[in-house]
Copies of this chain bind each other. A is one copy, B any other.
Amino acid sequence: MSSVTIRDVAKKAGVGVGTVSRVLNDRNAVSEATRQKVLAAIDALEYTPNLAARRLSRGKMMAIGVIVPYFTNPSVVRRLQGVVSVVTGSGYDLVLFDIEKVEQRADFVRNIPRRQLVDGLLIVSLNPTDEDVEELLQANLPTVLVDANHPELSRVRVDNVFGGYQATRHLLDLGHRRIGYISDFLNDPFNSPVRDRLQGYQQALTEAGIAFCSDYHQQGVHSRQQARLMALDMLQLPDPPTAVFAYSDTQAVGVLEAARELGRRVPQDLSIIGFDNIEAAEYLHLTTVQQGLYDSGAKGCQLLLTEMLDPPASATEILLPTRIVMRQTTAVYDNTTRQV
């Protein structure tokens, strides 16, 4: 509750407030003797600058905002961890906004710049609309997208078309011909990776001379449970897929559960590949497409800090690589040992 102000310090040290401020901010136009006097006074009074006042007069909030959707999603949490690692020690504070409902999104994106709450903004796994971007640019608020895309904003992401291609190609290379894709809803305007990966999936199929079969694609809300239900359906088709590509590891786990329920052995009877390489993937021995979740957050945050210092002329794009992590849920398609 110490409301000792800079004026108290100035009085105690027998100097002017400007001098104290200069000492606090390391402006070097202060003689060593004076500096020592001021530091002594600060120490004696246990003075700490009031942040709100500093922010007001500097016009900077010394905070960066992070907008995160569906905080329950492990891949989002992992990206956030990357962000946190960079923010901690940058001198900025991290203000977290969670979006659980679609309506909240517009509110946040609109209000954050207006409220002048933060000096920079990180938007994770959420595609902004053109109007959002307009608003952001007009407010002159440095913004970086992580795992999201818009031509006018700087961004860190992966090539999801290629990722989907890689996953599908991996299964094709193992000899699979009937390959399912279990995904989030395709028509979610804020989630473009789901469409990109489908595109990669279709590209790989086409390349292999296989026609896309709509029975082999199911979409639903993003959850293990829902993925399980969709997989249960798909695996009970008259001519079920021998391999499934799941949009996320979370969903792949649902597929794994469905397979177990139906008595299909993985990988002998069914190959499963996920996407993300979340921590659970490792101990479930799930083959997956790895993307640098943590890195995307860290890199995005670094990029933001850089751009806050000197605003770039145009948006930069950092593309992180994806790669297959082979574990034990995919195997060569071999009709002779199959039980189904």
**Chain A residues in the interface with B (C-beta under 8 A):** 1-2, 48-53, 55-56, 59, 61, 63, 71-72, 74, 77, 80-81, 84-85, 88, 93-98, 100, 104, 111, 114-117, 138-140, 224, 253, 256-257, 279-280, 283-284
Contact = CB atoms under 8 A, between A and B. Distances in A.
B280 A116 contact: no
Shortest beta-carbon contacts, A-B, top 5: A52-B55, A52-B56, A48-B114, A84-B98, A1-B140
Contact of A52 (B77, B81, B100, B116): B116
A120 to B, nearest CB: 15
11 contacts: A49-B115, A50-B116, A55-B56, A71-B81, A72-B81, A84-B96, A93-B117, A94-B96, A253-B283, A256-B283, A280-B283
A213 to B, nearest CB: 29
B71 A61 contact: no
A88 to B, nearest CB: 5
Contacts of A93: 95, 117
Contacts of A257: 283
A1 B116 CA distance: 9
A84 B73 CA distance: 14
A84 B71 contact: yes
Given A93-B95, A96-B94, A115 B51 contact: yes
B94 A95 contact: yes
A209 to B, nearest CB: 36
A88 B97 contact: yes
Contacts of A224: 283
Nearest to A80: B71
A93 to B, nearest CB: 5
A100 B82 CA distance: 13
A81 B77 CA distance: 10
Nearest to A139: B1
A195 B128 CA distance: 48
Contact of A51 (B50, B117, B138, B140): B117
Nearest to A257: B283
Contacts of A71: 80-81, 84
Contacts of A94: 95-97
Contact of A280 (B50, B80, B280): B280
B116 A51 contact: yes
Given A88-B98, A94-B97, 6 more contacts: A2-B139, A49-B115, A63-B95, A71-B80, A71-B84, A284-B284
A134 B81 CA distance: 31
Contacts of A50: 56, 116
Nearest to A68: B84
Nearest to A101: B88
Contacts of A139: 1-2
